[in-house]
């Protein structure tokens, strides 16, 4: 990796439980974040992603391990002495201050000359698309505008690292999608390393250079969004990132044979036999139309429900052996979907080369 902006060495943190004992939030995590990188920490509630973010910012003290920012050991420094700024989920704006006062607060604390302060506040607001709103109060802004004020306040101090703790979670879907693109664009323009926390898989895949998937206080996989989605390291990552159809069984001679009797064809090979999990994403299926299927493999299902999604259809079904399957069918196959809805059955086609094989038959390592 290029010279790192952040480096964690075996970071450990446990919290006491009211009933006694402890819960491990960070389990000897090693992590490097490159300069100008957009890294997203993704995982379910309680996986350790927010604890990891707060450890980097200094709001959580590690039980063991070290944290380096821009080559300096900041493990024992308080938050205000770290070259880091944080954008919180609730924005944390001062309600009695105007937009300009909120954004320029850090400059006031640093006793920045008035002329320089005015120019930097104006430049920061222009960068986030809020030029001309300096005199408004937070209550006079929309949720998206408040989020931009929080961003402007964070970047005006020119930090080396910006931490974002689910800052888009309170926004409606359309605004959230718009802000995802704006954040990614802003990060590229600023050249600052971003570490972004979310539990939203789509958000992580859309915005990041790399995604770190956490569970149980450990990093399960860290890679590009495309690699995490197409080549998950284990069954947890496969099931958490995007929709998935997982078939656990024995891989023999280009087929995964489940205990229930389903057979999944694959191009993967194994010496003898091996216990594995076969992954098929919903979008990898099409519905057979009665013509020649070429090299496609097939899976027969009974239809349980068909959902119209606008861009296509979600077909929920079950194999004859009782394995639930979800297929995302394009709108171009509307006729096949209509036929399946009437007959309550369908033959799903897939490319054996698209089947991703996970070693270990469903464990997380």
One domain for residues 143 and 234:
yes
One domain for residues 164 and 283:
no
pLDDT classification of 182: cutoffs 50, 70, 90: confident
40 has a pLDDT exceeding 60: yes
Task: For residue 78, give the CATH number of its domain.
Answer: 3.40.50.300
Tell me which of 194, 215, 239 is where a domain ends.
Answer: 239
Tell me which of 182, 205, 239 is where a domain ends.
Answer: 239
Give the span between the Cα atoms of 32 and 5, in whole angstroms: 8
One domain for residues 12 and 43:
yes
pLDDT tens, position by position, 193-246: 999 999 888 889 989 999 999 999 999 999 999 999 999 999 999 999 989 999
pLDDT at 271: 59
Structure-block tokens of residue 265:
């064809």
pLDDT at 364: 45
335 has a pLDDT exceeding 80: yes
132 has a pLDDT exceeding 80: yes
One domain for residues 15 and 48:
yes
Give the span between the Cα atoms of 277 and 131, in whole angstroms: 53
pLDDT at 92: 81
pLDDT tens, position by position, 267-281: 887 656 789 999 999
Q: Is residue 117 situated within a structural domain?
A: yes
One domain for residues 205 and 310:
no
One domain for residues 257 and 140:
no
Cross-strand pairs, 345: 302
One domain for residues 279 and 311:
yes
- How many separate domains does the chain show? 2
**pLDDT greater at residue 157 or residue 42:** 42
One domain for residues 194 and 250:
no
pTM metric for this prediction: 0.86
Q: Is residue 365 situated within a structural domain?
A: no
| 96 phi, psi to nearest 5 deg | -90, -5
The range of the structural domain enclosing residue 80 comes to 4-239
State the Rg of the chain over Cα: 25
């Amino acid at each position: 990796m290029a010279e790192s902006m952040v480096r964690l060495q075996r970071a450990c943190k446990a919290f006491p439980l009211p009933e006694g004992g402890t819960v491990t939030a960070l389990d000897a995590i090693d992590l490097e974040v490159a300069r100008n990188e957009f890294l997203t920490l993704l995982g379910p509630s309680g996986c350790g992603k927010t604890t990891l973010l707060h450890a980097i910012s200094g709001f959580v003290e590690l039980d063991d391990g070290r944290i380096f920012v821009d080559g300096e050991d900041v493990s024992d420094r308080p938050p205000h002495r770290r070259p880091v700024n944080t954008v919180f989920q609730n924005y944390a704006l001062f309600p009695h201050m105007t937009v300009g006062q909120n954004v320029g607060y850090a400059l006031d604390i640093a006793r920045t000359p008035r002329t320089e302060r005015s120019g930097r506040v104006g430049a920061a607001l222009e960068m986030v698309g809020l030029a001309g709103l300096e005199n408004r109060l937070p209550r006079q802004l929309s949720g998206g505008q408040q989020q931009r004020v929080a961003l402007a306040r964070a970047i005006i101090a020119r930090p080396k690292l910006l931490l974002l703790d689910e800052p888009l979670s309170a926004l409606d879907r359309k605004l959230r999608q718009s802000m995802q693109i704006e954040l990614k664009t802003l990060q590229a323009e600023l050249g600052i390393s971003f570490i972004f926390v979310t539990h939203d898989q789509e958000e992580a895949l859309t915005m990041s250079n790399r995604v770190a998937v956490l569970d149980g206080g450990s990093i399960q996989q860290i890679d590009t969004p495309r690699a995490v989605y197409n080549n998950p390291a284990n069954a947890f990552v496969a099931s958490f990132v995007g929709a998935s159809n997982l078939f656990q069984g024995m891989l023999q001679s280009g087929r995964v044979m489940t205990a229930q009797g389903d057979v999944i064809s694959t191009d993967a090979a194994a010496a003898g036999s091996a216990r594995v999990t076969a992954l098929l994403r919903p979008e990898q299926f099409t519905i057979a139309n009665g013509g020649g299927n070429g090299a496609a493999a097939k899976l027969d299902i009974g239809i349980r429900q068909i959902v119209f999604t606008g861009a296509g259809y979600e077909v929920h079904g079950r194999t004859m052996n009782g394995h639930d399957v979800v297929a995302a069918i394009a709108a171009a196959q509307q006729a096949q979907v209509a036929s399946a809805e009437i007959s309550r059955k369908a033959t799903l086609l897939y490319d054996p080369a698209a089947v991703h094989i996970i070693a270990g038959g469903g464990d997380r390592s």
